[in-house]
Amino acid sequence: MHNNTAISELIEAGKWISQRGWVPATGGNFSARTNSGFVVTASGFDKGQLGSHTFIELDHVGNRSASAAKPSAETELHLCMYKLIPAANYVLHTHSVAATVLSRVIKGHSLDLDGYEMQKSLTGITSHLDTLSIPIFDNDQDIDRLSLLVSDHHLHMPIEHGVLIRGHGLYVVGRTISEVRRQLEGLEFLFACEIERLKLVGLES
């Protein structure tokens, strides 16, 4: 995939994600794997109003091309996800209320969901009886250290759909732009349902 194609797809995804309120206050960042390496959103831009100037191009090892834009501090975590999941061609990082709150409310190392038909919107999940597990990592301003934690987890329990960063947000991966958007939308629906369930029955149920 050429850089311009990836950028166009991420611009459209940014408009869609922004309209749903999942990337407030210039939060979040998006990336894609391309023929020449990667493209990733630069820091400080409204994700609903992205343009070609709001992206940084990286080579296959993560070295950036000349650009006046400031790279996101979380670029390294995007590159980590691509290294761990070779089939992933897109990473969407969002800051929705549901993902942020659940990542703080759940004290364990993963958010485990079952019983929801919408779980089947996630690749590889074929039944509401399956358990969908999304790893949760404590937030860390040291992205290199956080990336090492994610990598270590993946060695023991492979990451399939994405990860939650506690009090921060969600990273979702996908092979195609349609898959990553579907998985993001499915997860956001599931997170919203789980919050409503917990309001009714409490954390101990």
Q: According to the model, what pLDDT value does residue 45 have?
A: 93
Q: How many Å apart are CA 118 and CA 190, to the nearest integer?
A: 7
Q: Which amino acid is at 195?
A: I
Give all domains of the chain, ordered by start, each with its CATH number: 3-201 (3.40.225.10)
Annotated binding site, which residues? 93, 95
Cβ atoms of residues 113 and 193 within 8 Å: no
What average pLDDT does the structure give for the chain? 94
Binding-site residues for Zn(2+): 93, 95
Pairing of strands 132-137, 162-165: parallel
The dihedral through the CA atoms of 66, 70, 74, 78 has a sign that is negative
Q: What is the pTM of this model?
A: 0.94
> What are the pLDDT digits (tens) for 45-79?
999 999 999 999 998 888 887 665 777 889 999 99
The pLDDT confidence band at residue 194, using thresholds 50, 70 and 90, is very high
pLDDT over threshold 60, residue 193: yes
Cβ atoms within 10 Å of 129's Cβ, excluding its own: 9
How would you class 120 by CB atoms within 10 Å of its CB: exposed for 0-12, middle for 13-18, buried for 19 or more? middle
As a whole number, mean pLDDT of residues 95-122 equals: 96
Q: For residue 175, which amino acid is it?
A: R
**Phi, psi for residue 202 in degrees, rounded to 5:** 90, 170
Closest CA to 80 of 133, 136, 149: 149
**Where in 90-180 does DSSP place strands (E)?**
90-94, 110-113, 132-137, 162-165, 169-174
